[in-house]
Amino acid sequence: MGTNVHYGFASMSTDTGHISGTGDGSWALNNPEARTDWGYRAMHGSVVLAKELVQNYYNQSISYSYYSGCSTGGRQGLKEVQMFPEDFDGVLAGAPAWWTTHLQTWTVKLGLYNLPNNGTNHIPADLFPVIGAEVLRQCDAQDGLVDGVISDPYGCNFYPEALLCGQNLTTSNATYPTSTSYSTNASACLTPAQVDTLYHIYNNWVDVNQTFVFPHLALGSEAQWPVLLDTSQTNAPSPLGTSWVANFLLSDPNWNYNNFSYATVQLADAVNPGMANADDFNLAPFHARGGKLLHYHGLSDALIATGSSIYFYKQVLKTMIGQGVDLSDWYRFFLVPGMQHCANSVNNAPWYFAGANQPFELGSSVYSVPGFNDSRHDILLALMAWTEEGKAPDSVIATKYTNDSVEAPVVRQRPLCPYPSQARYDGEGNVDDAESWACHSIY
């Protein structure tokens, strides 16, 4: 909230009616009103009140209203667009947790893939970097440039069997970084059962009657796997999933995750605790009032599968195109190669563009993009330029500072492109300069 004041905004935020730690959903137990506050009501009510206070304090009408949020904040932004399209003129939604009933249950399912800890299927956390190195070895070059950044993980033809113990692979086709030859050393290779677990992680969750439930983690997300897949300390799935099922859905703090099944998902969809799902893909009212939506998601996010944002975008596209509405006029979606959940990145991939909560990762006094305070580099300024001046963002330049210090030199800059286009290197300039790249359609 404080960051936005530097732009000249009067800003507001809300705790949605409760205070809790990460993964602690106990406040929702037997508390349906609190769930509804969290789901949508607290945000909308706070916005209405904040606008009234601002207008009375300054004794003038509000010119423009903007929203910026990531993760749950991204979901709240989409919920505002769907339920209260008049609240904001421009919305910036990052890595939105929009499909709550499927995201939280997928979090449980993901943990179950890697359990029990003493099972032959279990992949210990110290093998995650080994897997990540092999993914990089195979996928980095497949995107057209060996630079440590997997620009197109969905286009990578990954061969996980290369990780099987007993292989004697070389790394002559990769320089960034090299991976070790695989032998019988269990600390540097996978068993067949562990490769099967890898297949579960890298493939969509499809259940009863071939029903698509939730997308898979993307190749290149391995550095963030410990959050949801490291079960070594608890021998249980992440509380980000189990606590939601126990407290939000079942109101049973003693629920045993071993009783989890697809029926849990079906119940979640039927109940939709707090009406949290932001799954109304008909955004016609927001479009009709001239609203603008910028949506982004990191391709190395291991907390909310990047594919969930791709799925959301495509559902909106299918819904709106039937009404003769061109999305590019008011809704643009950007994938961020190498970026993890909302912020930070792997292998020095450019990730900073003043997205929601990003400035705090660089320092409490940071705002916008230091050294590049303009709408080409700052996605919030890009949203404002689009909303107020009609200048649609054909790209947004992401920045990576040395050691993520704004006082240090820039390591890399690279354009982010509106989906489904992708950034391509021109083959001549400095690969770390944004000017050496351009957005191209992949179709």
Catalytic (active-site) positions:
71, 301, 341
- How far CA 55 is from CA of 14, 25, 65, in Å, comes to 19, 36, 12
DSSP state of 418: B
CB environment 384-394: b (16+ within 10 A), e (fewer): bbbbeeeeebe
Sign of the CA dihedral 159, 300, 197, 165? positive
What is the total residue count of the chain? 443
Which residues contact residue 407 at a Cβ distance below 8 angstroms, ignoring those fewer than 6 apart? none
Helix, strand, coil share of the chain (percent; to 5): 40, 15, 45
- DSSP 8-state assignment for residue 1: -
Q: Which of 202, 386, 359, 223 is nearest to 295 (CA)?
A: 386
What does the buried/exposed string (b/e) look like for 129-158 if buried means 16 or more CB atoms within 10 Å of the residue's CB? ebbbbbbbbbbbbbbeebbbbbbbbeebeb
Quick one: tokens of 272?
């939709």
Q: Which of 283, 304, 364 is nearest to 78 (CA)?
A: 283
